[in-house]
């Protein structure tokens, strides 16, 4: 439909608890929104409140409303993972039936030794860890030795950290490209993503260079809603790490990851000034990377409130032919044990297509189906059912 636009903002990790299979993931009791609010004595998010965020779960300071400013509901993930890639792929119609390999004891010796041979540097770390904690532990050793810091998480990821004052950024990228070929490009899929994690700084003040992070992922194993939207002649604009998540498939324009969520909102607003029709797909990663994994409820609350203050600008930028969807890809409860994602339902807030409740959606693919319905694109054989009225 010429002139129609759909905008999806994924508030990365902002779950709403009560996933029916949370126990299978060891995540009973996790609820990012509710527990964050409780930890800080209540949230102040009046704009999200008006859209119905408080209807999705009990949030101190954000009560439910009888007259939401749009559609509201929840989505339950079907994929056998609580990972960024799995959540985004499922939104676009690809469901991971089997979990990808993870490495709770670190990577096998044959993988590590080959990586060392092919890159010409040694490896330190090689264990599951928080990205910030492992820097505090090993950054000075890296400065002295020049070795790679290798770590993983509960997700299927091979993460390589390098101090750009010690190892040039381009060398880090080249090493991760070699790891991608080893672990993904030779037939057997050994990880979901290889992630280049550059940083700089000194003890107690290390700063990860989020704008220079690069993900090298697996290619989507089939057609996605992105492909169908592109094939129908629409622009598909990716903001932040969306392009990396889909390995560029179905993306017509990419806006590199700005340094923080506020800058990503700016990028979306700037895109809407010129985009005539199509799909804008953005990931706001700070909820997850800066606050969820670091178990920082105060920071998480501040980021929710900061986004809430930007919401009126986004709403003002919409025309009558625009659809705005706010959701998340998984949970990352900053009050929960550990440092990893949490299995949760995710909130669903929709502006531009009426008001009311759309219920608990059985699968994230309903989002992609709804975007296609709005843009007049056939769903084809992909899973999902539109939650839009009519």
Structure token digits, residue 98: 């089997």
66 appears as a binding residue in the annotation: no
Give the pLDDT of residue 90: 98
- What is the mean pLDDT of the segment spanning 313-318? 98
Percent pLDDT > 70 in the chain is 99
Residue 187 has pLDDT above 80, yes or no: no
330 appears as a binding residue in the annotation: yes
12 appears as a binding residue in the annotation: yes
Angstrom distance (rounded) from CA 40 to CA 57: 17
- What is the mean pLDDT of the segment spanning 266-287? 96
Tokens 């989507």 map to which residue?
A: 220
- Mean pLDDT of the chain, nearest integer: 95
Tokens 């532990």 map to which residue?
A: 137
Angstrom distance (rounded) from CA 25 to CA 334: 16
Beta strand spans in the chain (E): 5-11, 71-76, 123-128, 148-152, 157-163, 193-200, 207-208, 214-217, 235-239, 253-255, 278-284, 322-327, 346-351, 356-362
Give the pLDDT of residue 324: 98
88 appears as a binding residue in the annotation: no
288 appears as a binding residue in the annotation: yes
Angstrom distance (rounded) from CA 123 to CA 147: 5
- What is the mean pLDDT of the segment spanning 319-337? 98
- What is the mean pLDDT of the segment spanning 270-274? 96
Phi, psi angles (nearest 5°) of residue 260: -155, 175
- What is the mean pLDDT of the segment spanning 285-310? 96
Query: Cβ atoms within 10 A of the Cβ of 12, count?
Result: 24
Domains plus CATH for the chain?
5-94+220-375 (3.40.720.10), 109-217 (3.30.70.1250)
261 appears as a binding residue in the annotation: no
- What is the mean pLDDT of the segment spanning 9-22? 98
Residue 36 CA to its chain's centroid (Å)? 18
Q: pTM here?
A: 0.90
The answer for residues whose C-beta is within 8 angstroms of residue 345's C-beta and 6 or more apart is 15, 16, 17, 18, 19, 74, 75, 76, 77, 360
Residue 258 has pLDDT above 80, yes or no: no
pLDDT in tens, 83-114: 999 999 999 999 999 888 999 999 999 999 99
pLDDT in tens, 188-220: 899 999 999 999 999 989 999 988 989 898 999
Give the pLDDT of residue 49: 98
Residue 1 has pLDDT above 90, yes or no: no
Residue 166 has pLDDT above 70, yes or no: yes
Give the pLDDT of residue 373: 98
pLDDT in tens, 135-158: 999 999 999 999 999 999 878 999
Edge-to-edge strand ranges of the sheet holding 253-255: 253-255, 235-239, 278-284, 5-11, 322-327, 346-351, 71-76, 356-362
């Amino acid at each position: 439909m010429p002139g129609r636009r759909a905008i999806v903002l994924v508030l990365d990790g902002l779950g709403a608890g009560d996933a029916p299979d949370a126990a299978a993931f060891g995540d009973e009791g996790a609820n990012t929104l509710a527990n964050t609010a409780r930890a800080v004595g209540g949230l102040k998010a009046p704009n999200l409140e008006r859209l119905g965020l408080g209807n999705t779960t009990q949030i101190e300071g954000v009560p439910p409303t009888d007259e939401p400013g749009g559609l509201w509901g929840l989505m339950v993930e079907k994929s056998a993972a609580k990972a960024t890639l799995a959540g985004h792929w499922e939104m676009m119609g690809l469901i991971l039936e089997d979990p990808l390999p993870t490495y709770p004891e670190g990577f096998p010796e044959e993988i590590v030794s080959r990586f060392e041979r092919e890159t010409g540097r040694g490896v330190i770390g090689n264990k599951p860890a928080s990205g910030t904690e492992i820097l505090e532990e090993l950054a000075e050793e890296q400065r002295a030795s020049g070795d790679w810091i290798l770590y993983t998480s509960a997700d299927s990821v091979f993460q390589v950290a390098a101090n750009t004052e010690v190892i040039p950024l381009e060398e880090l990228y080249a090493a991760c490209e070699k790891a991608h070929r080893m672990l993904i490009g030779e037939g057997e899929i050994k990880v979901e993503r290889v992630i280049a994690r550059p940083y700089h700084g000194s003890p107690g003040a290390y700063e990860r260079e989020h704008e220079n992070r690069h993900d090298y992922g697996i290619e989507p194993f089939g057609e996605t809603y992105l492909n169908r939207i592109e094939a129908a002649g629409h622009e598909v604009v990716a903001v932040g790490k969306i392009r990396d998540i889909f390995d560029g498939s179905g993306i017509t324009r990419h806006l590199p990851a700005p340094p923080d969520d506020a800058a990503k909102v700016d990028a979306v607003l700037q895109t809407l000034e010129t985009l005539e029709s199509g799909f804008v797909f953005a990931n706001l990663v700070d909820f997850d990377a800066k606050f969820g994994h670091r178990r920082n409820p105060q920071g998480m609350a501040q980021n929710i409130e900061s986004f809430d203050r930007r919401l009126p600008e986004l709403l003002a930028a919409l025309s009558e032919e625009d659809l705005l969807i706010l959701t998340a890809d998984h949970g990352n409860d900053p009050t929960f044990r550990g440092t990893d994602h949490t299995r949760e339902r995710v909130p669903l807030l929709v502006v531009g297509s009426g008001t009311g409740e759309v219920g608990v959606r059985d699968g994230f693919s309903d989002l992609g189906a709804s975007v296609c319905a709005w843009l007049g694109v056939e769903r084809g054989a992909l899973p999902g059912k539109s939650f839009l009225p009519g």
